[in-house]
Chain A
Amino acid sequence: MNKDMKILIVDDFSTMRRIIKNLLRDLGFSNTQEADDGQTALPMLQSGNFDFLVTDWNMPGMTGIDLLKAVRADEKLATLPVLLVTAEQKREQIIEAAQAGVNGYIVKPFTAEVLKEKIGKIFERVEA
């Protein structure tokens, strides 16, 4: 796993973005950028050569699930690994995310260990 990979963190709460940014830095990933919803994130992804997307689900403007669908529908971004970090935990939502092609799903509140484990698994599969 490349520790210099470029990661986009999308969440409407600045505190949560900051927490995720700090946890990622602690895991050795310091090349991160932030966006506060899908609408801001999508153009950044389209022009920014990102290697990994970590996004919340429930956001004003464009939600995380819509962002995921837009990413999968975009020819250049279709294979971008996406991790959902969300408070939504209804079965039908988890299934919807899986069907939309999410690579990992973390429910809030979460621990640093869970984040580390999921990122590890995602890139194990991506690189395999």
Chain B
Amino acid sequence: MDENLSEDYLSTARSIINQVESGNIDEADKLIEDLSRKRDQSLFQELGKLTREFHEALNGFKLDSKLTTLTGTEIPDARERLKHVIDVTEKAAHKTMSVVEDLIPVCETLEGQGDDIQKRWQRFMKRDMDPKESRALCDEIGVYLAEQNSGTSRVRAGLNEILMAQDYQDITGQIISRVINLVTDLETSLVKLIRNSGAIVEESTNTSASGKLDGPQVPGLENSDAVSGQDEVDDLLSSLGF
């Protein structure tokens, strides 16, 4: 009961006593009626408050059903989507590496032949070559130019393939954005649910369990106990006598 109301009760009660002592029973009756009306009003207020709380609790149940959808369908769905991201990125990486593995020997062959021809070309320019060898060199240069032509075409086609293999970024970016939205939704629902149920959430201490691996550091979310790159690893190891 609020303070105003109890003061009100007290002053009315005093007035009743005064009126009764003075013999004004009619006045006292009126005051008693007043008092009982005031008590009813406060009861109504309490009832109103209870009704509102009940209404909020019902809304909480509605949120609950949203959580059911989130955990029942959307989270497993997100898991499949993220697995798809792993598949798509893995495929793109292998595709890129296959092209690179195909093309490196092409480059190595051209490099070796070019090197060989260049050495003899230098001798030719210094006139350190007999006519027979010069003619052979000319033939070889002709063959080399043709091979270089087809080799460069293959490299170019391969580079295009590598370029096209990067289209995974678009797909995976969209999938990951959707999952981020889902996680945000889930967070909002959980926070509302906790508020409605009036539970007190204690801050959990942010120590990683021993033996648990942290994996790659993410920009903006660095672990203060982690080093920031190879240089710091080397420094740490050399401080340990490496």
Contact = CB atoms under 8 A, between A and B. Distances in A.
A58 B213 contact: yes
B227 A91 contact: yes
Interface string A98-110: 1000000111101
Q: How large, as a class, is the contact surface on chain A?
A: 20 to 34
Contacts of B220: none
Contacts of A15: 90, 93-94, 97
Q: How large, as a class, is the contact surface on chain B?
A: 20 to 34
A42 B242 CA distance: 26
A63 B211 CA distance: 11
Contacts of B214: 88-90
Interface in A59-93: 63, 87-93
A105 B227 CA distance: 12
Interface in B97-118: 97, 100-101
B233 A105 contact: yes
Interface in A38-69: 57-58, 63
Interface in B72-131: 90, 93-94, 97, 100-101
Interface of B: 90, 93-94, 97, 100-101, 213-217, 223, 225-230, 233, 236-237, 240, 242
Closest 4 CB pairs of A and B: A87-B216, A15-B93, A89-B226, A58-B213
Interface of A: 13-15, 18-19, 22, 57-58, 63, 87-95, 98, 105-108, 110, 114
